[in-house]
Structure 1
Amino acid sequence: MFNPSPLDYTVDFTMNGHPRDMLKKDRQLSLVQDDRHDSGLDSMKEEEYDQFVQELKDIRLQPKETCAPLQSSPCQPAPAWKQQVTEDGDTFLHLAIIHEEKALSLEIIHQTGCDKAFLNFQNKLGQTPLHLAMITDQPEIAEALLKAGCNPEIRDFRGNTPLHITCEQGSLRGVGVLTQYSPQHHLSSLLHFRNYSGHTCLHLASVQGYLAIVECLLSLGVDVDAKEPCNGRTALHLAVDLQNEELVSLLLKHGADANKVTYQGYSPYQLTWGRNNSVIQEQLKPFTTLDLQMLPESEDEDSCESESEFTEDELLYDDCVIGGRFVPC
């Protein structure tokens, strides 16, 4: 399908004349694409796709010599393949990653050299090639991108960094690549970044119950007590909501504060009331202060106590006035 010579790379996304459906690699693309949020194979109409394939067939990657010739300038314009952008904002590299053409993706990254602008180019969903490498679970491509100098802090249209995406998808390999090859100053920021919903990577991994990823993040120094913005729940609150005993144990082991309360004033222990899982309650009890073990009195109870002891029928009226005169009741 793709057999590049050392000096000349011909692009052919038609897979030697096979139908376009061959590119789907036996996946239910409509279902996957809802989760992937990339432009995907179905983002273009059939005739648009065929036209684009025809254009790509003529693009050739030239042998890489130095970084300098790859930089566009008035004297040295960018090569044609670097200027190709679809109406969805996808570059040649975006498309190669979406189509999971590993050899082609790696060669483009190699040829790109020092051009960070191309490596960090965002499509109309705000996705860089690194986002797409995480969405399509291609850690080898992610490693190559990071080694080439791409920026892992760039956010997509939902405020997700590539680390947010791979934590939510549960790719431990992806998390390993991002945390291993991201520069230290980037990594410390990534661990604390919140997406536009206010969730950290720890929140996303906890909600999905990915214990290995949670432990990896905790070992790297993520804030274990960070609160999500909707109700002010920490990962420990979320673990109780999910009734995940192992997650509760893991978070407590790494120093999660069992006395943190939500915006409504509830501790993780108080969220165990009314649930069938007594194991979690026993796990939390030694770490929770006595005042945060009992449920707070409800507002309804407080309001009832403040009401008069007389019912409406029992109240005595002595101030009825008719025509300016007091009338006994």
Structure 2
Amino acid sequence: MFHALMQPQEENPQEQEMESPRDGLKKERLLDDRHDSGLDSMKDEDYELMVKELKEIRIQPQEEQPGPPQEPWKQQVTEDGDTFLHLAIIHEEKTLTLEVIRQVAGDLAFLNAQNNLQQTPLHLAVITKQPEITETLLKAGCDPELRDFQGNTPLHLACEQGCLAGVGVLTQYCQTQDLLSVLQSTNYNGHTCLHLASIHGYLAIVEHLVSLGADVNAQEPCNGRTALHLAVDLQNPELVSLLLRCGADVNKVTYQGYSAYQLTWGRENTTIQKQLGQLTMENLQMLPESEDEESNDTESEFTEDELLYDDCVIGGQRLAL
């Protein structure tokens, strides 16, 4: 079991006045990626007590006792839905985290518990960039397909962060069927892992995902853009070249009928236009006529002296024409 060992600590009163424990733990990166750590919603005295307990906790060998083991810490959940394991990962208590995972081996309900933001411990291990913890969680049976409140799996988050170590661990230790499912899935914005890596320009991750079976021609469900369309939108010639080498279909069109080449019109980068122009079918190179142009070419059905309606009623009386 876990026991808190009280140890005297020397504190500088002046330093304590200048920076409180709450300020010390608010790392900009962690809070930005965590979205809402739940720390701000706690009372000062509760927050300081929690920080004190985390700093003073030490791991003691578990004594075997008759009957089922008593593990009250497994039942404790914060108002933000965080379990003891969530908190240990958030505060990057590596030794404590590994010991918790060891002691709950086989308890998949606990390992896959989701907080109020639908984040599992695996999500948080990726967010805080702890690849060793990520690997241990996967080996312990954590589900890599669970989504957070934005529909992101842990691999979506790693691709969005551009974390090669995280992507490597997640793709290496995922079961094959789980990995293929994650590569095909979209978050609530309609983006696959490949879309996210492309949007942020992480070329190495894009190439790695395609090598693992990610569909390079996958379309966003909202408008049908592929990674190649996104590369044109972002004016990233290196990404365009990579996607073409990976087998991207230049003749794939969006749901509005636009090829990637047609999206190059009116943009400054002519290199991308030349790359795509040589490969795109001729009928997908010219921009389609706009609805405004079509409406201007069509004469009005009515003259200025003609009324569109002949049954106007004012004050209950039909208007005489």
Bin for the TM-score computed over the shorter chain: 0.7 to 0.9
Distance 1:295 1:120 in 2: 49
Matches within 5 A, 1:34-183: 34-39=32-37, 41-53=39-51, 63=61, 76=68, 78-183=70-175
Give the secondary-structure state (helix, strand or coil) at the position aligned to 2:223.
Answer: coil
Query: Residues 1-41 of structure 1: CA distance to partner in whole angstroms, max 9, x if unpaired?
Result: xxxxxx9764789988685157528x336xx5233324264
Summarize the Cα distance change of 1:175–1:311 in structure 2 as closer, same or farther, 3 Å threshold: same
Q: State the 1:208 CA deviation.
A: 0.9
Which residue is 1:303 aligned to? 295
Summarize the Cα distance change of 1:218–1:86 in structure 2 as closer, same or farther, 3 Å threshold: same
Which residue is 2:203 aligned to? 211
The letter for the 1-side match of 2:256 is Q
Which residue is 1:20 aligned to? 21
Distance 1:290 1:40 in 2: 56
Summarize the Cα distance change of 1:257–1:11 in structure 2 as closer, same or farther, 3 Å threshold: farther
Summarize the Cα distance change of 1:137–1:13 in structure 2 as closer, same or farther, 3 Å threshold: farther
Q: Is the 8 A contact 1:33 1:40 kept in 2?
A: no
Distance 2:103 2:62 in 1: 5
Q: State the 1:291 CA deviation.
A: 0.5
The letter for the 2-side match of 1:28 is E
Distance 1:170 1:54 in 2: 34
Distance 2:201 2:7 in 1: 38
Distance 1:278 1:221 in 2: 31
Q: Is the 8 A contact 2:7 2:56 kept in 1?
A: no
Which residue is 1:231 aligned to? 223
Which residue is 1:186 aligned to? 178
The letter for the 1-side match of 2:44 is E
Note if 1:33 corresponds to 2:28. Answer: no
Summarize the Cα distance change of 1:196–1:217 in structure 2 as closer, same or farther, 3 Å threshold: same
Distance 1:136 1:253 in 2: 33
From 252, 267, 270, the counterpart of 1:278: 270
Summarize the Cα distance change of 1:220–1:16 in structure 2 as closer, same or farther, 3 Å threshold: farther
Distance 1:104 1:28 in 2: 23
Which residue is 2:193 aligned to? 201
Q: State the 1:45 CA deviation.
A: 2.9
Give the secondary-structure state (helix, strand or coil) at the position aligned to 1:287.
Answer: coil
Distance 1:266 1:8 in 2: 60
Aligned residues: 298
The letter for the 1-side match of 2:291 is E
Query: Residues 90-139 of structure 1: CA distance to partner in whole angstroms, max 9, x if unpaired?
Result: 11110011001111111111222211111111111111100000111111
Distance 2:89 2:136 in 1: 12
From 254, 260, 267, the counterpart of 1:262: 254
Which residue is 1:3 aligned to? none
From 207, 225, 234, the counterpart of 1:242: 234
Structure 1 alignment gaps of length 5 or more: 1-6, 70-74, 316-329
Q: Is the 8 A contact 2:59 2:96 kept in 1?
A: no
Q: Is the 8 A contact 1:170 1:210 kept in 2?
A: yes
Distance 2:245 2:165 in 1: 24
Q: Percent identity?
A: 65
Q: State the 1:306 CA deviation.
A: 2.4
Runs ≥4 residues deviating over 3 A = 7-19, 40-43, 51-66, 310-313
The letter for the 2-side match of 1:126 is Q
Distance 2:231 2:5 in 1: 48
Q: State the 1:77 CA deviation.
A: 5.2
Distance 2:134 2:53 in 1: 27
Structure 2 alignment gaps of length 5 or more: 306-321
Q: Is the 8 A contact 1:14 1:53 kept in 2?
A: no
Summarize the Cα distance change of 1:117–1:100 in structure 2 as closer, same or farther, 3 Å threshold: same
Distance 2:130 2:178 in 1: 21
